[in-house]
Structures are given as C-alpha cells and as structure tokens.
Structure 1
C-alpha cells in the first residue's frame, strides 16, 4: 500500500515529513488539504488528526500525526532504505535529540510568527505582514541564530559531522524565510549560511522544495 500524507505544500510540518520520505526514496501520495477553507478542521480530517492540524499520515493500517513523530517513524521503519538520519551510537543519538529539542522549543518559537507574518498571510490571504510584529520577532530570531552560529562553528552539522534528522527538521521553515527579508539574518552568520546552503543542495531538498513557492 502506498504511504499517504494529508497536508499542504504551504505547511512546514508537512514538508518535514516529505523531506524524510525523499531522503529515504519512498513513494507516497500527497493528499492536499485546503488550509484556506479550514479543511483540516472538518470531520474527515479530525478522524485522522483529532487536533485539527496537518499533516496526517497513513502507512497501511498505521495512522499517525505530529510531524516529528512521523519523521522518526519513517527513519526507523525504513532504516534499510536511502539516507540514515538517526545515528545508532548512543552519544551521537543524544546530541541529535538535544538539537531536535532545540528546534522544537527554541528555533520554531523564534520563527513561527515571522513565517506567519511574512509568508502565510501573503500565500493564503493576500495580506501584508505587520511590520511592528516582524521587527520584534526578528530580534528573537537573531538571538537564537547567534547560538546556532556558535554551535556550527564547532561542527558542520548540529549534532556533529553528519547530516541528521536534527538538521532536517529545521529546513522547511528556513526555506520559507529565505524567500523573505529574513534571508539577510541567516546570511549574516557565515556558519549558519553555509549550513543552510548545504542542506538546500541535498537531492531530497531539491526534489521537495522544487515545487514550493515562497
């Protein structure tokens, strides 16, 4: 049975799942959910994700939601395929887990409002972002990226010398922000800029992001 992903190319969480599938070279069917009409809140979607969010995921009889959990499932269930993005070494795996937590609890909160103001308002509703909000949130992003710059001055990737899920989870939001004025914030930090360029050059990113308008 073909894996089904219910989501949207305008959803950062959906893109996180699609990147994992691309890294593993796994075929899937993307079933587009109309965010503008709030299809994700309709009964047929709530049956797949009771929180009324995307993505939702089906692999045979297994149904999952929450993109980071789905990503880990893909990498573990299809360990013999494609790129290995979870390190079996306990110490290296712990570093991956640390930076995945940083992405979820430090990086995403710093960029989520920016992504909404600069990307989603324009994509979904044709509206311009609030400049005061953007300026305030930019300061938060600067602070977080200073810490990332320090980390990436020590190693090529967040958890060490190898690309991992810890890096991949960041890619969707960065992709959208790099199409806005926030690009200069990333480019102002040479190690962060090199990290982003390296990620975006990966075949999986080229494949998935090649159909993303930003």
Structure 2
C-alpha cells in the first residue's frame, strides 16, 4: 500500500494521519508539487485531477482523502472509526460533507491564500472559517467527539485544517471546546502532527 503525499497538504495529512492511527503498513511517497510532478503524465495516470493524496493498494487506486479513509476503514473492518449503525453512519457522512464544504471553503481556503498564494478573498474565507468553527465549538460543548464516544473518521476529516487555521490568519484561540478536541486527537496512539508553516498568525507567534 502506497500513499502519495505532500507534507503541507491538509488533505494528504488527514489520509496519512488516519493510516497511522489504525496502524496499517504503508509506504509514504512524496510528490513534488513545487516542480509540478502532480500535473505530469505518471501522476495523472493515478489521479486525472492532479491532486494529492492518492492511495495505491495492490493496483487499486483511491484518489481523495475522504475516499481513502472510507476505503481503508472498510477494508480493515474498522467499525469503531466508521460505524455500520445507520444513524451514526449518517452523522459521520454529515461531517464528511462539512469537511468537503465549509472546511474546504473556510479554514482550508484561508490557509491556501497565505501558504500557497491562492486567489481567494481573504476576508470572505476567514469569515466562513469563523462561522463553521463557531458551530463546531458549540457541537463539542457537551461532548468529547463529533459523533460517538470516541474518535471516528469524522474527527480526522476536520482536524488538519482546523489545527492549522492560524496559518490562514484564522484565530482559533477562543474556541475552547475545539481546542480540547484538538488535544484529544493529538493524544491518540499513532498520531502524526501536521507540519507547521510560518504563515499567517504562525509567522508572528
């Protein structure tokens, strides 16, 4: 099993983190985004969208971080991370949609501006980030995890871009329940930190 990775990608980090948390053997393959390796034919043969991460498992290709987590959880029977119960599965899907929606167009987009020079309206994406962080903080006010009484792929899907939101000039210091939740994820066996960039609020901290 190979995971094609770029260390500063939050999408790649969430896949890397999940594989590490469930303790499966895999090879981490670095993709040189700076040189455009992700837009060249060998990589495009793996993922025509030219994006990391991509999982290669005995010839079966899985692009997309969320798809990778679902695939690996199903393959290894990790029903603690991805429950079969219909109600819990629906709740997890809700948060996976948040990861692909409000998180992607909020804290993720804000970080893309400062770390990669993306052409987004910074004020707009920062405002979106605070909107979703306010909702997540409220969700975590009376619970430790987003769905069940333990971490699931829902928590991992949101972690990377929230923990590094300050790199996109999104101040998370006053989201106290989010902060507690981040620390709980970081205390999990097999946790892999997301490398920090000196960007945004991190540049002056």
Question: What's the TM-score, normalizing by structure 2?
Answer: 0.86
Matched, 1:90 2:79: no
Shift, 1:78, TM fit: 1.2
Distance in structure 2 (CA, Å) of the matches to 1:24 and 1:93: 19
The corresponding residue for 2:193 is: 209
Contiguous gaps of at least 5 residues in structure 2: 198-205
- Deviation per residue, 1:103-130 (Å, 9 max, x gap): 2112221112211123334xxxxxxx99
The CA distance in 2 between the partners of 1:52 and 1:180, in whole Å, is 23
Query: What secondary structure sits across from 1:96 in the alignment?
Result: helix
Q: Is contact 1:119-1:176 (8 Å) kept?
A: no
* Contact 2:82-2:89 within 8 A present in 1 as well: yes
Question: Could you tell me whether the CA contact under 8 Å between 2:6 and 2:12 is conserved in 1?
Answer: yes
Match of 1:187 in 2: 173
1:175 Cα offset (Å): 3.2
Gaps of 5+ in 1: 122-128
Could you report, residue by residue, the CA deviation over 1:117-164 in whole angstroms, capped at 9, with x for unpaired residues?
A: 23334xxxxxxx99x943332222111111112211132211132211
Give 1:111's match in structure 2, choosing from 107, 121, 124.
Answer: 107
- 1:80-107 CA-partner distances (Å, limit 9, x unpaired): 6xx8311222211211111111221122
- Which residue is equivalent to 2:44? 46
Contact 1:119 1:177 in 2 (8 A): no
Q: Could you state the TM-score of these two structures normalised by the residue count of structure 1?
A: 0.83
> How many residues are aligned here?
197
Inter-partner Cα distance in structure 2 for 1:154 and 1:103: 21
Supply the distance in 1 between the matched residues of 2:115 and 2:182 (Cα, whole angstroms).
19
Answer whether contact 2:113 2:168 (CA < 8 A) is retained: no
> 2-side partners of 1:46 and 1:152: how far apart?
39
